[in-house]
Structure 1
Amino acid sequence: MSGSNKTDFTNPSTFILLGIPGLEASHVWISIPFCTMYAIAVLGNFTILFIVKMEPSLHGPMYYFLCMLAISDLVMSMSIVPKMLSIFWFNSREIDFNACLTQMYFIHCASAMDSGIFVAMALDRYVAICDPLRHSTILTNPVVAKIGLAVLLRSGLIALPLPFLVRQWPYCRTNIIRQPYCAHMAVVKLACADTSVSSYYGLFVLFCVMGLDVIFIIVSYIQILRDIFSLPTKDARLKTFGTCGSHLCAILAFYIPGLFSSLIYRFGQNIALHFHILIGTICLLLPTMLNPIIYGVRTKQIRDRVLRLFTHKGT
């Protein structure tokens, strides 16, 4: 690999992932919180899937969407963390070119899917609060299945051009990626060609897809809040708003770190590279860990089922 830094090639056979540049000596220590986040994400999301499957009372639109979110979060964490830990623990930095593109695809697909699922959950809350008598007739199982399929197809198709665009560029500068996973723009920066198309498409996905999702969620919650404040008593308002608590917390846990990471990426030129990479990685993985905790703690049906599960095992 000694000549890999300045070689003329169209597509490199491998990329080199540096992990956290400048903190190589601390990789083992850095791996501890990421390994913990990964374990909580995997255990928590599989627990959500198991409980919803085993509990007939949870077989409804909100919990079906929650299962979709759990699957998407598992895809995100499993796409990033295993390779990252192999870098931290075994210094296994090489990643095949096609494997890198595959990882890139699943990272961006899962991110778009999370956003789409939050829109579906906002629709569910809107119907449940603003038109409760028709909730069961509007969001039937076939309709929920169609919404889930639409979210999956949209996410898959939106992310599909990213690896194909990256594949077409020639790479004659370096094959070293200065972070622990293959993000779209991190790979595009290595190309020695005009990569404006990739940059513009990435911005399109960010603003025209996730941006529209955020607008739809905000509009939904404006209507929800109008209906909540029209309720006659404070207790009724608090009880109704409480049904949205888990969804709102999960939305904030997803969009705020993403916005923070995006702002640092574009305007944080004076921030140290290792800090930038750490924050960006945490912002990607944090929602995958927080979502099952949020829904497990704030959703009474799931919380009670978890307690019964462990109480039953302990007796």
Structure 2
Amino acid sequence: MPVVLSLINLKGGVAKTTTAVQLADTLAFVRGKKVLVLDLDPQTNATLALIGEERWAQADAQGQTLAHLFLDLLGGTRQFDPAAAILPGVSNLGGLVEAGTGSGGRVDLLPSSIRLIDVQDRMGDIAARTHYAVNPMEVVRQHLSPLFAGYDYVLIDCPPNLGFVTQNGLEVSDHYLIPTIPDRLSTYGIAQIAGRIAALRQARGLRLTCLGVVVTKYQSSSAQHQRGLARLPGELEAAFGAAGQAPPPVFKTILPQTNAAAEAMAYERPVTSYPHKYGRTPVGGQPAYRYGLHLAEEIETQLSQTLPARRGGQFSTWLRRMEPGEPA
């Protein structure tokens, strides 16, 4: 069975999508896992980062994006084909043959569309439009979750809200991650996320838990970020405590703000390897690309505590495989 992991924050611009895409690349092309990315965000940033504008336009024109799944239910049409909509072998790392970076790894994608903007406001009509055969919160579960079995990981990039589209992602997830910049504006909505998801979990009988909080775009020279980072554990304790839950951990891996992270989201940019894509320039004493590797290791370690069979290999081995001449 795959691990299904949603990424959510109510504020945009916190590197939620960047984190999702790098995690998908890391799990696939470093760890050799089969990863499916569901892009539920109408901004389609994960989709564009993984397939580029031309391939996205083709999928959208053919009615094979996640927006069209919902539009079929709203309009009584049958344009969307779940199996055909999955785009195999995406990411600009997918075509590379990198010796020693794992075998059998691949990222597939169920693409998003800006048409989801219109869908979000009409989701409540799905039950009536389908003669109550489909609950608007169960569209992904009913139509897409049977396809998850062929993957090790399913990563869901959720919109920056807690509406029906986001709830569809949460409904099928085992865990969720909260990427956040350590400032007031970015962390303000965490209490709402904790409370709303706790209520959903109870009302819907979900197994969903918060796997942890990922600090992103960190600037070590910023006093605001330093204070926010120090304040974050207490804020999580208050937010999740109010929802009757134990606070999730803050991952030790802190993703710094780098030019490489932004450039990595440009699908058309030629890359030669994972380190090339995510940056060899030292940041905080180590090459930028290693932060993504450390985060994936932490996530797999966290998961291994409840799913021992998923325990991975030693992280130092990963690094030697990435750049054999560089000490781990």
Which range, TM-score by smaller chain? under 0.3
More helix per residue: 1 or 2? Answer: 1
Q: Which structure carries more relative contact order (alpha carbon 8 Å, separation 6+)?
A: 1
Greater percentage in strand: 2
TM-score (norm 1): 0.27
Larger radius of gyration: 1
